[in-house]
Chain A
Amino acid sequence: MLKIKQLAVAVGDKEILHDINMTIGTGETHVLFGPNGSGKTTLLTALMGFPKYRIVRGSITFQGKDITGLPLDERARLGIGMSFQRPPVVRGVKMSDMVAACLKGRGDAETVAKLAKRTDLEDFLDREINYGFSGGEIKRSEMMQLLAQKPKLALLDEPESGVDLENIVLIGELINELLEKHCPIPDRKCMGLIITHTGHILDYVNARTGYVMCDGRISCQGDPHEILQTIKEGGYGSCVNCLARRHLNV
């Protein structure tokens, strides 16, 4: 289980996220909606433990352990993984080396080759990571690394952005595989928190709970399809107004 309590996150001196509360049960998938710049990626990177994102209040508990002050790499080794929206190019480091590092000895070259085949990246194993990759290739590369990493909590930052229609089906399948959607609900161990700006990913991946983030706050929580419908009808502006009304208690 992941439990976020009254979390506030700052970058430099500026507080970006305020009073975030969220609980994701084992095997559950939740989605986070929100307009650009609302703080969605900040939440994911803060959960992952990137040092730039400083936790100023609140706590994060993962699998019963308080990880609020735990460094990035230790969180990763504890079972938190993240797919990046715009990962950096790492010149000289080959895709195959990266996937092997993610496997941490749980597989060999054959395992790497199988993962490459599954993600349609067989010709990319000798390529430098993210160097000259298209939008779809980056997403598949991120999914390949996460499938190798086998996290217990997968943080997915806009997995459908920049992906064409053909690739989005594959990305959806890979997310479902990562989140063990093929297993009966009680048997699923991997939790997921997916950021989506457009909600397209919900056509391919089922989620239990949805949230809307506006101006660094969670403005509402509920059935993800209902939330998406509301956003489609009234835009994110309706969420902002709703949040404002709640703050003013009107």
Chain B
Amino acid sequence: MSEIKSSESYRKKAKAAAAKAAAFGEDIDLSTYLTSAEEQPYQSDPEQLPAQAREHMLEAGVVLDDTSQRSGTYIQMDNTPVHSSIRGDGVEVIPISQALKKYDWLSDYWWRAVAVDTDKYTANVELNRGDGYFIRALAGHKTIFPVQACLYLAKARLAQNVHNIVIAEEGSELDIITGCTTASREDPGLHMGVSEFYIKRGARVTFTMIHSWNPAVAVRPRTGIIVEEDGLFLSNYVLMKPIHSLQMYPSARCVGENATVRYNSILVAGKGSSLDVGSRVFLEAKGAKTEIISRAITTGGDIIARGFIDGGAPEVKGHLECRGLILNNGGMIHAIPELKGNLAGIDLSHEAAVGKIAEEEVEYLMARGLTRTEATATIVRGFLRVDIQGLPPTLGAEIDRTVEASEKEVM
């Protein structure tokens, strides 16, 4: 990748943090993973990618057979970008390595929303640079179809390093679907993904991330979001497939007046899965708003569901809602909602509930003629249904499809 301004200073900080354990989650020994993989060939036509890879990508919401419903596509296999393209004007989708060469000013965004020395995973991404996507919506441009990106782990035992930057210029609208998946259904691997989002004044970004890893993969995303005045960042995260270990705590800063951040997360942990997932929002400007909603189901795995809202400016408003459902004994859900405020007139609230399906609800549905299995499935489906405010209908349908496709495994 090209050199960037202050590059030496970042490397220095990264080296100092190379062994720094994360604040949360299982500490991963990075030395047990490979640091490099063979370069993958570039495909100008994504339909030419191997059929099995396309099938796995589809399960993560990435459609390659017909990209007419997409504004752009980015595919990365291991640490190599193998495809990037756009349909139409107004949006850029290129590898971050290319973008850094193309735009000097991009250095100003590099490690601004996420600190390079956050922990060993951010440090590793800096020290062993792979690649990542650069997605930018030009000022005032409103994408009709979403941009899609896939981060694909092909090589067994690889530590995949990804650094993404998304910029929504003033008044733009951008929808992104990112699907993350693996070639193998059993080989171990490690995904470390840094994503920095910059939502300029009056811009709106919907970011939908669908994770479809395997039971041996560890995942450490590190995400930072900066939202300016009247900007909106809407995040939807779906994890319904088995995973070995996931720890992430994306952090958004509302720095402009009336900036808004909404997070919706759907988490399912089967036996052997350990999830430590949260969302954090700092309301730093007058009138900023946030809503954090998570739905967690354990069928035998462990979930720590965190949430944190810091109301540090006048007239800010935030709500945190965490609901957990324990379908099988042996699993654990630990909800940790946190609110912090030091000003009169702010409005922060939270609600959290963890439990099994209420027998009273199952019997109510059975009294309408549903069998116990049908009644339970209906309640679980309803539990996983998060009505996402502001989500384009096509994206909503995509999320519904992903959730429905995974329901059988949950049940």
Contacts and interface: CB of A to CB of B under 8 A. Distances in A.
A128 B370 CA distance: 18
Interface stretch (A87-95, A158-166, A201-209, A210-218): A87-95
Interface string A127-153: 010000000000000000100010000
Contact of A97 (B363, B378, B383): B378
B379 A92 contact: yes
B369 interface: yes
A205 B329 CA distance: 49
A88 B360 CA distance: 7
Chain A CB within 10 A, most for which of B323, B365, B383 = B365
A76 B361 contact: no
Interface in B350-365: 358, 360-361, 363-365
A111 B371 CA distance: 23
Contact of B364 (A84, A92, A94, A97): A84
Grouping DSSP codes into helix (H, G, I), strand (E, B) and loop, the A interface class, with mixed when no group exceeds half, is mixed
A150 to B, nearest CB: 11
A113 to B, nearest CB: 19
Interface stretch (A21-29, A98-106, A187-195): A98-106
Chain B CB within 10 A, most for which of A87, A93, A94, A101 = A93
A73 B381 contact: no
Contact of A91 (B371, B375, B382): B382
Grouping DSSP codes into helix (H, G, I), strand (E, B) and loop, the B interface class, with mixed when no group exceeds half, is helix
A48 B367 CA distance: 7
A240 interface: no
Contacts of B401: none
A157 to B, nearest CB: 11
B383 A91 contact: yes
A156 to B, nearest CB: 13
B102 interface: no
Nearest to A76: B369
Contacts of B366: 71-73, 76
A76 B378 CA distance: 17
A76 B368 contact: yes
B368 A88 contact: no
B372 A92 contact: no
Contact of A77 (B360, B369, B372): B369
A90 B367 contact: no
A73 B369 contact: yes
Contacts of A48: 367
B385 interface: yes
B268 to A, nearest CB: 15
Nearest to B380: A92
A93 B383 CA distance: 8
Interface in B306-328: 323
Contacts of B385: 92
A115 to B, nearest CB: 14
Interface residues of A, number: 26
Interface string B329-362: 0000000000000000000000000000010110
A81 B368 CA distance: 7
A94 B382 CA distance: 8
A92 B367 contact: no
Contacts of A104: 369
Contact of A145 (B363, B368, B381, B384): B368
Contacts of B381: 92-93
Contact of B367 (A72, A91, A97): A72
Contact of B382 (A77, A81, A128): A128
Contacts of A92: 379, 381-385
Interface in A31-58: 48, 50-51
B364 A90 contact: yes
A239 interface: no
Chain B CB within 10 A, most for which of A73, A77, A81, A102 = A73
A90 B379 CA distance: 7
Contacts of A82: 367
A87 B370 CA distance: 16
B368 A98 contact: yes
Contacts of A81: 367-368
Given A91-B383, A92-B383, A92-B385, A101 B378 contact: yes
Contacts of A77: 369
B361 A90 contact: yes
Contacts of A84: 364, 367
A149 B364 contact: no
A87 B381 CA distance: 20
Chain A CB within 10 A, most for which of B369, B378, B383 = B369
A66 to B, nearest CB: 20
Given A48-B367, A101-B370, 4 more contacts: A50-B367, A73-B366, A91-B323, A93-B382
The 6 closest A-B pairs by CB, nearest first: A92-B382, A93-B382, A76-B369, A73-B366, A88-B360, A77-B369
Interface of A: 48, 50-51, 71-73, 76-77, 81-82, 84, 87-88, 90-94, 97-98, 101-102, 104, 128, 145, 149
16 contacts: A51-B363, A72-B363, A73-B367, A73-B375, A84-B367, A88-B358, A90-B364, A90-B365, A91-B382, A91-B383, A93-B378, A93-B381, A97-B378, A101-B365, A101-B368, A102-B369
